A and B are shown apart, each in its own frame.
Chain A
Amino acid sequence: MADLRELLRGTLAGERRALARLLTAIENDAPGVRDILPDLLAAGRGAHLVGITGPPGSGKSTLVSALTAEWRRRGRRVGVVAVDPSSPFTGGSIMGDRIRMMDHAADPDVFVRSMAARGELGGLAGATWLAAAALDAAGYDPVVIETVGAGQSEIEIARLAETTVVVEVPEMGDEVQAIKAGLLEVADLIVVNKGDRPGAELAARQLRAMLSSAGGRITRQPPSILVTTAVSGEGVAALADAIDEHKVAARSPEQARQRARNQLRRAVAELGVRGATDHPDWEAQVEAIAERRLDPVTAAERLLGHRS
């Protein structure tokens, strides 16, 4: 596709409109996108991929905005992909992450793109990986991926991001919440945001006490725990430092391979889903499960050709 080649050329030349349109093509998996991927990836500049996740209303967008201001002071060009949920009924979406980021709206060295999750689970959109690659090729570093408001087990972001920041608030719950499996486990850094509220330091202390000693089969470093107040900028410089420091560990060959393994596993699963839903027997299997004549795993095996 000559048109997509032109968009890629413009993207690499720093044209924002070309980048925006390339992101749309990627998001829509437009015809010809696959053909330009080798060139897109070859143009990658090795941006630090930073994931920001946490429950709805914990201040992710405000924190991303505050971090962006800090990175701009340090002369970095910042790319942001902000994911919001899609309606399971209409496919529609309201994306409001920009509201908190309008301070940077007219800054030519900040690029913010909202993406609807479009039915993908885990708090990310399917095209997020490639969108981050496009921002990297366009010269933004870091590239920040803000997930949808995540609960306890939306851990997809840790497969993609090199550094995963989990944002919590002081009222997150008691110590047992801190040691449950899931989201907090995949954090490289945990931020207790809204640090001006009562209980913020206590929550941070509890998290430190419960998470500082990893053992058993866990080999990864326990996460650092920081307190920020995103609206005032308090603690944000220290967070930016911590994110930078983590990049070295994140780029160890073992960690890079582990992320790649998880990404491939996820992609294989996605393709399996698509292959199965396109299968002529899909509806028949659905019917069989609905009538409880068949269990879902056996039905899946039949659709994927593992069993006749």
Chain B
Amino acid sequence: MSGEVAAEIRTTHILDLAAEGKRLDGRGVDEYRKVTVETGYVASADGSALVHLGDTTVLAGIKLEPGKPFPDTPNAGVLTTNAELIPLSNPTFEPGPPQPGAIEVSRVVDRAIRAAETIDLTRLCVTPEEKCWTCFTDVHVLDHSGNLIDASLLAAVSALAHTTVPAKRFGIAEADYALDVQHLPIECTFVRLGDVIVVDPTFDEEQAAQGRLTVATDETGRVVAMQKGLVGAFSPDDVKAITRRAFVHGERLRQVAKGGGP
């Protein structure tokens, strides 16, 4: 297939460039693509955010519904995160049951939100053992041009930070109120291209990558989640260096998530 040959030539080219500290789109090795966040994008959602990360576009929508607490956590609400890598977003995605890639994005995003205690789940409890809020975060990948994990979590936390609890609509309180967000985790993803480790990989860089590492940090200086993916390896020193870079980028991206603007 000519497509496969072209992909191989592109991979070689990406690796050759990386050896000189260069990237196909002209970025530096520690440079993100342009990020924009537009909150309140979907009127039918209780909270939403459209994130552009270069050519990657991700839309997160939040829906809150009354539900029943789990028996083992009678004083807590329920939080679920789901990412859909719909076939609209990339030629390699096909309709059908979720592919492993989609499940990984869902779970890595969910893990960061949970581990960072983004939402205080006890505040989503209405009546212990009986009634609580179920908070659904649905992430829709619209344009997959690389680094879905970072874009998806950024969209999810931006949406959560701008969510209204529809308490009046469901007759639970007199008025709707803003969802209380106590921490804002940010995930930063890096890939190895030869001896060089670059941040925020494009789709083509992900195809060429020899290992991927995602580090989630929060504003209190904690690392809250990590995920190594793809075939490849990182040394402990690599991981330390990547974590340092993740804190620096995370600080900046968190301001973008809070502001809901560029």
Partners in one complex: no
Q: A-side interface residues toward B, CB under 8 Å?
A: none
